[in-house]
């Protein structure tokens, strides 16, 4: 058995490693932070809009640092950058347990948790996987991004920790878990297969390789596709970021309770796994734009359902619509970027998209919080998000065909 395992191409080991890292990030941060958010707001008496402002400010930070982060990942490799980000993330959780004011919370979330998460997990992991695959890139990225859904399965456990230990002690324990699990895995991350005498998809470097674009960041910036994709991605993430933060509080508000809300989040993660794999495979058959458009329609419908949800059956309908679209579109965002612009500057181009995308993500969480604070309901925000998906759908009509292969030049 060990002999067969040793024969598995390292690219697939890398997929497993990065999937585990992203699952950890998802469990404690992407989905799990909502478990900490509600009791913190209650303890300090903050408004949800004020507390949500930290998330929006973190998106602004990402807009400013994204291009540099992407360039650093392409330049120095994912592992070196992750060895900066993961320890920063760990310190952030320990520092969170000590916050005593809104200002301290903002500083911890923006400077430590958000920056550490950005440097240590998804961007670097997706770059590594995209570098090791071309022909099977959508599948590999789909499997990797399943880590987000897998991580959601552990949210009930995080919720149990918070309820039994309190959010402060639970934050310290989360930091310790990340330290013990993530650091050893980061050491196993590799940058490009060419450094090891291989080419993408497991062929030797001298074998025939699939033709792919190799656009520089400057070439990408001059293309209409870059700007259309960046704006469309930003509109989608605006809504999904708000849902990630406010979903658990919304469940509690309609009377389902914290435990049920945590399990609903876990179900969301499981359903999103189906979307990540199925939509990726479907995109290879009928085209990425068609599948992406279908996902936007499903998101719009899910927001309308959630706006009127007052019972568990309606929440189930929301999860059935939202989960696959949420997961599948996240995967397609990565594979579309790689297919349009290539591997050479994958992280850099993604980083350059970040400021454009932040225009949407900066407003999403705080807008939803403001709507709740002023109306006592998330309904108005959810209707607005449904309209935003229609706008993102219209943008796809103007997306040009995939660029012709171009050789990068300095």
* 3: in domain: no
Q: Would you list the DSSP string of 350-369? A: HHHHHHHHHHHHTTHHHHHH
Position 203 confidence tier, pLDDT thresholds 50, 70, 90: low
Residue 149 lies in a domain: yes
**Band of the pLDDT at 406, cuts 50, 70, 90?**
very low
User: Is the Cβ–Cβ distance between 89 and 117 less than 8 Å?
Assistant: yes
> Is 162 a member of any domain?
yes
Average pLDDT over residues 320-346: 86
CATH number of the domain at 354, please: 1.20.1250.20
Which position has the higher pLDDT, 144 or 401? 144
Residue-wise pLDDT for 285-331, tens only, equals 777 788 889 999 999 999 999 988 878 888 889 989 999 998 889 88
In a domain, 402, yes or no: no
- Would you say residue 15 has pLDDT above 90? yes
Type and span of the H or E element at 333: helix 312-341
- Tokens matching residue 239: 């809504």
Report the pLDDT value the prediction gives residue 409, as an integer from 0 to 100.
34
Residue 155: partners with Cβ closer than 8 Å, 6 or more residues away: 27, 31, 32, 35, 262, 265, 266, 269
pLDDT at 201 (0 to 100): 73
Predicted confidence band of residue 90 (pLDDT cuts 50, 70, 90)? very high
Owner of token pair 């993500």: 361
Q: How far apart are CA 227 and CA 271, in angstroms?
A: 30
On whether residue 220 sits in a domain, the answer given is yes
Residue 1 inside a domain? The answer is no
- Residue 52 is predicted with a pLDDT of 78
Q: Measured between alpha carbons, how far is 19 from 21 in angstroms, rounded to an integer?
A: 5
pLDDT at 106: 92
Per-residue pLDDT band at 350 (split at 50, 70, 90): confident
The pLDDT value given to residue 275: 87
Position 2 in a domain: no
**So what's the pLDDT on residue 2?**
39
Say whether 204 sits in a helix, a strand or coil. Answer: strand
Nearest-5° Cα angle at 280, 248 to 391: 65
The DSSP output letter for 150 is H
> 318 is in which domain, residue-wise?
9-202+213-396
pLDDT per position as a tens digit, 224-243: 889 999 989 989 988 998 88
Average model confidence (pLDDT) across the chain: 84
Cβ neighbour number for residue 318 with a 10 Å cutoff: 24
The pLDDT score that the predictor gives to residue 408 is: 38
Q: Which pLDDT belongs to residue 6?
A: 53
Residue-level pLDDT at 178: 95
Mean pLDDT over residues 380-394, rounded?
A: 92
This prediction has a pTM of: 0.75
**Structural domains counted in the chain:** 1
Q: Is the pLDDT of residue 4 over 60?
A: no
- In degrees and rounded to multiples of 5, residue 399 shows phi and psi of -75, 125
Averaged pLDDT for residues 182-204 = 82
Instruction: Please check the confidence at residue 7 and state whether its pLDDT lies above 90.
Output: no
- Note whether residue 404 is domain-resident: no
Region 69-82 average pLDDT: 91
As a whole number, mean pLDDT of residues 7-27 equals: 90
- Give the rounded distance of the alpha carbon of 322 from its chain centre: 15
pLDDT in tens, 269-278: 788 888 888 8
Decide which of 263 and 386 is more confident: 386
Q: Give which of 175, 57, 52, 171 is closest to 110, Cα–Cα.
A: 57
Q: What's the rounded Cα separation, in Å, for the pair 167 and 110?
A: 18
**pLDDT exceeds cutoff 90 at 87:** yes
pLDDT score recorded for residue 278: 85
Q: 213 versus 102: which is more confidently predicted?
A: 102
pLDDT at 245 over 80: no
């Amino acid at each position: 058995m060990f002999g067969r395992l040793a024969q598995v191409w390292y690219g697939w080991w890398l997929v497993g490693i990065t999937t585990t890292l992203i699952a950890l990030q998802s469990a404690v941060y992407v989905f799990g932070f909502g478990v900490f958010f509600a009791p913190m707001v209650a303890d300090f008496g903050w408004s949800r809009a004020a507390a949500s402002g930290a998330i929006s400010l973190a998106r602004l930070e990402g807009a400013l640092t994204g291009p540099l982060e992407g360039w650093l990942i392409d330049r120095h490799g994912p592992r070196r950058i992750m060895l900066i980000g993961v320890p920063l993330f760990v310190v952030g959780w320990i520092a969170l347990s000590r916050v005593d004011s809104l200002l301290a919370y903002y500083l911890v979330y923006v400077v430590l948790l958000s920056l550490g998460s950005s440097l240590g997990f998804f961007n670097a992991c997706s770059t590594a996987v995209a570098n090791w695959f071309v022909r099977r890139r959508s599948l590999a990225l789909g499997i990797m991004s399943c880590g987000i859904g897998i991580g959601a399965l552990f949210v009930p456990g995080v919720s149990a920790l918070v309820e039994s230990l309190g959010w402060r002690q639970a934050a310290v324990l989360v930091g310790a878990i990340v330290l013990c699990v993530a650091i050893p895995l980061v050491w196993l991350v590799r940058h490009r297969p060419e450094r090891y005498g291989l080419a993408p998809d497991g062929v030797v470097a001298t074998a025939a390789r699939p033709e792919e674009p190799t656009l520089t960041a400057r070439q990408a910036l001059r293309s209409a596709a870059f700007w259309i994709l960046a704006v469309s991605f930003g509109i989608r993430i605006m809504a999904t970021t708000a849902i990630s933060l406010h979903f658990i509080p919304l469940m509690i508000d309609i009377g389902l309770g914290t435990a049920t809300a945590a399990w609903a989040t876990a179900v969301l993660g499981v359903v999103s796994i189906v979307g990540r794999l199925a939509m990726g495979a479907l995109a290879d058959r009928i085209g990425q734009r068609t599948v992406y458009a279908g996902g936007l329609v499903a998101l719009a419908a899910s927001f309308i359902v959630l706006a009127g949800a007052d019972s568990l059956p309606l929440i189930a309908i929301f999860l059935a619509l939202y989960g696959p679209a949420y997961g599948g579109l996240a995967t397609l965002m990565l594979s579309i970027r790689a297919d349009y612009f290539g591997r050479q500057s994958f992280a850099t181009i993604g980083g350059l998209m970040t400021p454009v995308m932040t225009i949407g993500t900066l407003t999403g969480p705080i807008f939803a919080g403001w709507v709740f604070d002023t109306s006592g309901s998330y309904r108005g925000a959810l209707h607005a998000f449904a309209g935003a998906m229609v706008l993102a759908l219209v943008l796809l009509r103007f997306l040009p065909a995939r660029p012709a292969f171009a050789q990068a030049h300095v």
